[in-house]
Chain A
Amino acid sequence: MKHTFRQVFRSGKFVVGFSIFVAILLIVFIYPLIVPDPPLAIIAQGTFFEPGIYVNAYDSIGASKYTLNLEGAAAKRIASKLKAEDRLAMKDWLVAYGIAEADIDIENTEQLLDLWAKNYDSKAKVAGMTNAKRNYYVRLNTSLQGLLATEAAVIAAKNVETGALEEKGKIAQSEYVNVGQVANVRFLPLGTDNFGRDVLTELVAAARVSLQIGFVAGIIATLIGLTLGLLAGYIGGRVDDIIMFFTNLFTVIPSFVMLILISFSIGQEHRGAFTVAMVIGFTSWVWTTRAVRAQVISLRNRDHVNLSKLSGHSIVYIILNDILPYIASYVVMALILQISSGILAEAGLSILGLGPRTTDVPTLGLMMNWAMIYQAHILGKWWAYFPVLITIALITFSMNLMNTGLDQVFNPALRD
């Protein structure tokens, strides 16, 4: 036994798969301790905020200021404000005005602004310019001048009595606040989703629920498959015929189709995560049954089983003592596969909108579903769906890797 374990952990594939899986499990259990927010809390007004560190603007006004004189700060500020469209528009104007195209480098902010300041003239007549376009350039110019201004921004507050604005303070361009001293900062590594929920928190919770669904589905499927397979394989005869009849029946109807039909008929309201897991479990035992049966058939005529019979043991005793231990490693592998395919099945169902009802818990499939409905993929909001895909892939990949590793240990091609 010890030796077997040692061998299993010497298999590179198993160790890699196992490490990934344990890492996922650890994250799933430890993350909620660090970020205890409810995963479905809507924290953002608006959809699809980009990943990043969100610093409370109001609090940063009040935070202590530090003056740092950093080179190129102004240029960076402008560069970050000057969008790519604006740069292109500026180039268009300059080209139309008569500057050689080769002289304009829109990536070089300083040079571009320089050219613009030298040449732009709101009254200049440029060929093919509509009125709207002209107004746009006037606006652009004004905002650029604002950016280039070096005065401090003024903070003003309303006087309660007079209702007039009064200057309360100024923020110079070289003033900084320390993020650590700002009262409210929120790190959203994966931004927010369409409902304005923190994607990372949601993802961790979803991974956990999906794993639970996978485990429940896998265990149900394996238990059913194992029991039926053992009975069919060992007892044979009439029992085998009946069990195989049902197994064949279930094989003819693809289990995913059945899954869809059952999920659909249960109705959105009654589909909790647990129900979905059970439905998946009850529709996917077929291949475990077949596989276990085949294994048992190859075992039932072995001499150690015969010896057990001759020693007067009952069928139950023989199945539990002389058959089950021999297929235990196989059953573990089947369970792992069932769990990973359960997770995939949930994802598949949810993408079709037949997953668990959307109000209590997130699952990986539901997250995909939401991302799809709100067109995250079309809008280029990758953070709403890409991490989910990666998580699904990692979970199933790690489990399949563990399985291959186990397979190599338990079924070596060379038995010496």
Chain B
Amino acid sequence: MVKSKDVCLSGAGLTKVYGFGRTRTLAVDHVDFSFYEGEVVSIVGESGSGKTTLAKMLLGLTNVTEGEIYFQGEKRDISTQRKRREYWKNTQAIFQDPFSSYNIFNKIDTVLLDCINMRGGRGFSRERKFEMMTEACSFVNLKFEELTNKYPFELSGGQMQRLMIARVFLLKPKILLADEPTSMIDACSRATILDMLMQLRSEIGMTIIFITHDIGLAYYVSDSVYIMEHGKFVESGSADQVILHPKAAYTQRLINDVPKIYEEWDLSTV
């Protein structure tokens, strides 16, 4: 896979603390990382290890307690609404829980229209917009004609999640933070969608940061893998290195816990 050496997004000593006093939680604990342009990075870790929190910080949706984020070599500055908007043109996300990602009072068309508008397509004709939305949906195995004019609660979980992915095909961001983007999609569609995403990546040189618990998936798609435990990266490196030859005990445990079909799955270890 092509790997240009430009660092696209990096962090130094990134820390997030929620609450204070007795309820103080150290969600992300002084992590350092550099994600390269056009790379697919997976962040794997158990639930509560701070993956979503890290993604929210990278997106600028939650305050950073300590540390710095560098975007394309410069210190990230999102202090004003305008700068934030500019940043979000480049950095987009797929959120973890599709059920709470939608405004239930808006038809789903708005979600896609917003993306077109954001990419300067406000003035396009209706037909043009319709065409663009249809195309984006086809990338994720959905038929737009069947979905248009529906409300989010009229879709299945997987359909909502796929629609979130469809946004990416309209937005074509430089960086995509995908938080468990395929957790509710069947294995078959998942393969198609991942292929489409990878194709988009090679077309526009998008950096994809995959947050997942599915180690097989992480291995399948990513160039490098970060393993996260209790807010810290315990292991990182190329996919082959980390998943096939794990060094950290935690990584070994994770890989051991993956449900198996060709051999006995040992339930006694938890």
Contact = CB atoms under 8 A, between A and B. Distances in A.
Interface of A: 301-304, 306-315, 321-322, 325-326
B130 interface: no
Contacts of B93: 306, 310
A306 B93 CA distance: 10
Contacts of B267: none
A67 to B, nearest CB: 76
Nearest to B100: A303
Nearest to B118: A312
Contact of A308 (B62, B103, B104): B103
B88 A307 contact: no
B68 interface: no
Contact of B89 (A306, A307, A312, A314): A312
B97 interface: yes
26 contacts: A301-B62, A302-B100, A303-B95, A303-B96, A303-B100, A303-B101, A304-B101, A304-B102, A304-B103, A304-B104, A306-B59, A306-B95, A307-B95, A307-B102, A307-B111, A308-B103, A310-B61, A310-B88, A310-B92, A310-B93, A312-B89, A312-B117, A312-B118, A321-B105, A322-B103, A326-B105
Nearest to B52: A303
Contacts of A303: 95-97, 100-101
Interface residues of B, number: 26
Contact of B118 (A301, A304, A306, A311): A311
Given A304-B101, A312-B89, 14 more contacts: A301-B62, A303-B96, A304-B100, A304-B102, A304-B104, A306-B59, A306-B93, A307-B101, A308-B103, A310-B88, A311-B88, A311-B114, A312-B114, A312-B117
B79 interface: no
A312 B106 CA distance: 16
A154 B188 CA distance: 110
B95 A311 contact: no
Chain A interface, DSSP helix/strand/loop, else mixed: helix
Contacts of A315: 81
B107 to A, nearest CB: 12
Contacts of B59: 306, 310
Nearest to B98: A303
Contact of B105 (A311, A312, A325): A325
B85 interface: yes
A303 B62 CA distance: 12
A302 B61 CA distance: 11
B208 interface: no
B115 interface: yes
Closest 10 CB pairs of A and B: A311-B114, A325-B105, A303-B95, A303-B101, A304-B103, A312-B85, A303-B100, A312-B118, A310-B88, A306-B61
Interface of B: 56, 59, 61-62, 81, 84-85, 88-89, 92-93, 95-97, 100-106, 111, 114-115, 117-118
Contacts of B92: 310
A306 B111 CA distance: 12
A326 B106 CA distance: 11
Given A306-B61, A307-B111, A312 B88 contact: yes
A175 to B, nearest CB: 75
B16 to A, nearest CB: 13
Nearest to B87: A310
A293 B100 CA distance: 20
A341 to B, nearest CB: 29
Contacts of A314: 81
A313 B95 contact: no
A307 B93 CA distance: 8
Nearest to B56: A306
Nearest to A305: B103
Contacts of A307: 95, 101-103, 111
Nearest to B86: A312
A303 B94 CA distance: 10
Contacts of B105: 321, 325-326
Contacts of A308: 103, 114
B114 A313 contact: yes
| Central interface residue in A302, A310, A313, by most chain B CB within 10 Å | A310
A92 to B, nearest CB: 81
A301 B63 CA distance: 12
Nearest to A318: B103
B170 to A, nearest CB: 11
B179 to A, nearest CB: 9
A302 B105 CA distance: 14
| Central interface residue in B62, B103, B105, B106, by most chain A CB within 10 Å | B103
B162 to A, nearest CB: 15
Contacts of A321: 103, 105-106
A310 to B, nearest CB: 5
Contacts of B102: 304, 307
A207 B49 CA distance: 61
Nearest to A313: B114
B100 A309 contact: no
Nearest to B97: A303
A326 B115 CA distance: 23
A304 B117 CA distance: 18
B55 to A, nearest CB: 10
Contacts of A310: 59, 61, 88, 92-93
Nearest to A314: B81
Contacts of A311: 88, 111, 114-115, 118
A325 to B, nearest CB: 4
Contacts of B100: 302-304
Contacts of B103: 304, 307-308, 321-322, 325
